[in-house]
Structure 1
Amino acid sequence: MTDESAGRRDTDLVQRTWQLLQPGEIELNGLVVHTGFDGSQETQMHQATLEVGEIIAEAAGHDPTDTYVESGNDDPEFSSNQHQGLTLDGEEFVWECQQLLRDGAFDVVFYYEASADHEAVQAAAREAGYEVTGVRGDADSPADALE
């Protein structure tokens, strides 16, 4: 893949992420986690999903041990590559993600309440070794949403 096609792919993904954050019942931010995991590395991709979910839970003020993941395998409402992080007490929304296999590698797109510390999420995910792109839901356009 050329740098130009990678740039178009990332621009498209950021635009789609931003659109999903737009007016809803709650204000959301997003995080795109770019992995090098291919379709044969689902276990590693799943572990990365859980790790980033815990980072988001902490930034949202939750103890990660007080949350669980609702997955497509657990509920017919979700596809196998869509997951939600919920609190044990009250099943409150903490985060949601979609695992997208694109150009042979997974990108994981997370959505979470804007009240979570967006900068802390990005910093902790980068510190854990992930390549991430932050997407602000309150931006006026996809180009303004990048962090």
Structure 2
Amino acid sequence: MSDADAVDTDLYQRAQALLEPGEIELVGVIVHTDLSGDQEPTLHESTLEIGNYIAEYAGIEPTDTYVYSGNDDGEFGVNQHQGLTLDDDEFVWECQQLLREGTFDVVFYYEADVDQEGLVEALREADYDAVGVEPES
């Protein structure tokens, strides 16, 4: 079974579209949760933990990052967050929390210079239902 078969095909394709060539090369991961809309504090904790994994695999100490949430920014969605470095606000990761069919799927994307296989495996070992997303070839 391919990664695309493991999750909703439409969601996978939409996540791939976010990786389209831009200023930096990106890869991503989709994390399916069983968390409903009334479990947002747990979703928040999971988002932070996954962001820490991404930072580690990007070679950045998680304690050297912070999360910027778009709640007060008109150009950002309410459930859209960025992991940035403390020193210079450098991009580490971004995610969108999508409530789909009653539970959240979280799409993360980050620079492609991480060990993608290792990151996805580490997330799975931490009991996350994670599927790596690569740009279309």
Letter in 1 for 2:98: L
Cα distance, 1:9 vs structure 2: 6.7
Question: 1:100 aligned to 98, 101, 104, which one?
Answer: 98
Distance in 1 (CA, whole Å) between partners of 2:126 and 2:7 is 24
Cα distance, 1:76 vs structure 2: 3.8
Q: Report the counterpart of residue 134 of structure 2 in structure 1.
A: 136
Letter in 2 for 1:62: I
Cα distance, 1:78 vs structure 2: 1.6
Question: 1:86 aligned to 84, 87, 91, which one?
Answer: 84
Q: Report the counterpart of residue 109 of structure 2 in structure 1.
A: 111
- Unaligned regions of 5+ residues in structure 2, if any? none
Query: Normalising by structure 2, what TM-score?
Result: 0.92
Map 1:1-147; keep pairs closer than 5 Å.
Answer: 10-137=8-135, 139-140=136-137
Letter in 2 for 1:113: E
Q: Which runs of 4+ in 1 moved over 4 A?
A: none
Cα distance, 1:74 vs structure 2: 4.9
Letter in 2 for 1:14: Y
Name whichever of 48-57 and 116-125 sits farther off.
Answer: 116-125
Query: Normalising by structure 1, what TM-score?
Result: 0.86
The superposition leaves residues 61-114 of structure 1 with CA deviations (integer Å, 9 ceiling, x where unpaired) of: 000000000002354432210000000011100000000000000000000000
Cα distance, 1:117 vs structure 2: 1.3
Distance in 2 (CA, whole Å) between partners of 1:23 and 1:96 is 16
Distance in 2 (CA, whole Å) between partners of 1:10 and 1:57 is 26
**Judging changes above 3 Å, is the alpha-carbon distance between structure 1 residues 87 and 105 closer, same or farther for their aligned structure 2 residues?**
same
- Unaligned regions of 5+ residues in structure 1, if any? 1-6, 141-147
